[in-house]
Structure 1
């Protein structure tokens, strides 16, 4: 299962880079689009393989739990990563104007910090939901305990990352002062 998770992660980047290279560097927009559409299919393959492995009687392992954790994160962040990389290359190859620089001070900084944390909270919730779904699939906590090993590091990241929006809310930063020429 570990090798399948690693293969899916490698394939994510292969399809992303290949799709963007085909779209922008080679000018093959259709092929690039098809390769980018394969990115979410990797998650479907990993989910199906994980469920089939468990249903076919495989011993539930920590790697099945990693699969669930990985899926929760990639479902939430995968599309964002593809959009971000696509926008970067579109600007690089002159097909899009650069966006205005974000204001990362004051209220905008607070909203950005809480939005980022809530996005991770969604990824965390999906990961935990998938882990507990696998526990139910294997017949309960007695057999499914190894699946929940990834709860500890995910929960730590969730709790520690809460510091950023809390601190940003307390100290949101000030607008940069406009430099006066004259």
Structure 2
């Protein structure tokens, strides 16, 4: 199962790079959109492979739970990951200056809370998939429950960090 998760991650970045390459180097915008639209196909393939693995009698493992996390994160953060890759491609390959501005104060706090909101969305999607796996497997769900418990702790820690930007706003260095 871990192999399929790694393969999905590699495939994700291959189609993103292919999309950026076709958009900026070959100037084929429609083809680049095709590549970007393959990212949810990769997520769906991983979901199907996970279900097939469990259907064929595999014991639920941490890797199955990790697949649920991967899919949740990919759906919730997919657009922002593509935007990040686009920005890096433009600055590294096309040598365009970076447009990223450093945020401070309230703007930084709002940004961090939005990012936590995406984390929460990923968590909801991933936990829904974990719940379906737990329901489907029925027995031997301890590895899946450990994934759920660990991710819950990570989500709470991420919230505390985000909240710290609200309570102690990042100040601009002078």
TM-score > 0.5, shorter chain as reference = yes
Taking the TM superposition and a 5 Å limit, the aligned residue runs for 1:125-164 are 125-139=124-138, 142-164=139-161
Deviation at 1:90, TM superposition (A): 6.0
**Which residue of 145, 169, 173 maps to 1:172?**
169
- Distance in structure 2 (CA, Å) of the matches to 1:45 and 1:100: 33
- Distance in structure 2 (CA, Å) of the matches to 1:173 and 1:83: 24
Runs of 4+ in 1 over 6 A off after TM superposition: none
Distance change >3 Å, CA 23–CA 100, structure 1 → 2: closer
Once the two structures are superposed, residues 142-177 of structure 1 have per-residue CA deviations (whole angstroms, 9 ceiling, x without a partner) of 322222232243223212222222221112244677
* Superposed CA RMSD: 2.5
Structure 2: 5+ residue stretches without partners = none
Taking the TM superposition and a 5 Å limit, the aligned residue runs for 1:1-182 are 1-86=1-86, 89=89, 101=101, 104-139=103-138, 142-174=139-171
Is the CA contact 1:71–1:127 (under 8 Å) kept in the aligned structure 2?
yes
TM-score in terms of structure 2 length: 0.84
TM-score in terms of structure 1 length: 0.81
SS at match of 2:141: helix
Aligned residues: 173
Is the CA contact 1:62–1:148 (under 8 Å) kept in the aligned structure 2?
no
Distance change >3 Å, CA 156–CA 90, structure 1 → 2: same
Deviation at 1:135, TM superposition (A): 0.5
Structure 1: 5+ residue stretches without partners = 178-182
Is the CA contact 1:117–1:161 (under 8 Å) kept in the aligned structure 2?
yes
